[in-house]
Amino acid sequence: MEFCLDCWICERTGRTTVFEHGAERAVCSGDADSGQHYTAARIAAFDYTSEPRRTTLHAVIDHWWAPFHDARRDRPGTALTRIPWVRLQVGYHCPHQQGGGTFTIQTNLVRPVAFSCEHCAAPVAGSDEVPRIRRLSYPTP
Ligand SMILES: [Zn+2]
Ligand SMILES: [Zn+2]
């Protein structure tokens, strides 16, 4: 999963932060000077709910955050970045047992969008709703 976060370590807003399910820490893309670095964030929980013809994925992200000022963009960091977005990489099994593959769902995508198997071109999934991002805790400034 890639999630856009304001990073208090490299003090830059709007950083692409890469999460892997099960990893103890995430990786912030940093900026051109500092390069990427580990950051205090992880996927704390991941599950899904299934209805007929619809599966909803839920991910809870733990993210340590402290106030800072992004000197380069001259703007304060926020606990949930100004324009949050997310990109999810999802695995699938081929319906014709020809292996598996992955596709990505992301916030800024024209919807509805359909994904097909990279082996046999059978439809495997679609996305018709923009991922919702919600802050669960942290006092509102
Ligand atoms: Zn950073
Ligand atoms: Zn297939």
Instruction: Give the mean pLDDT per block of 10 residues along the chain (141 residues).
Output: 96 96 96 92 95 93 93 93 93 92 94 95 94 79 50
Within a domain: 141:
no
Q: 121 phi and psi, to 5 degrees?
A: 70, 10
CA–CA distance, 124 with 120 (Å, rounded to integer): 10
DSSP letter assigned to residue 114:
E
Within a domain: 112:
yes
Q: Are 19 and 41 in contact (CB under 8 A)?
A: yes
Question: Cα of 16 to ligand 1 centre, how many Å?
Answer: 9
Q: Which ligand is nearest to the CA of 115?
A: 2
CA–CA distance, 132 with 58 (Å, rounded to integer): 10
Question: Cα of 112 to ligand 2 centre, how many Å?
Answer: 21
Question: Cα of 116 to ligand 2 centre, how many Å?
Answer: 8
**Residues paired with 48 in a beta bridge:** 57
Within a domain: 136:
no
* pLDDT value of residue 33: 85
Question: Cα of 98 to ligand 2 centre, how many Å?
Answer: 5
Within a domain: 140:
no
Within a domain: 137:
no
Question: Cα of 141 to ligand 1 centre, how many Å?
Answer: 22
* pLDDT value of residue 26: 98
DSSP letter assigned to residue 131:
P
For 73, the domain range is: 2-127
Q: Residues within 5 Å of ion ligand 2 by Cβ? A: 94, 96, 98, 117, 119-120
Q: Are 62 and 1 in contact (CB under 8 A)?
A: no
Within a domain: 9:
yes
* pLDDT value of residue 52: 92
Within a domain: 8:
yes
The candidate with the shortest Cα–Cα distance to 125, out of 141, 101, 108, is 101
Residues 6+ apart with CB under 8 A from 24: 42
Number of domains in the chain: 1
* pLDDT value of residue 115: 96
Within a domain: 23:
yes
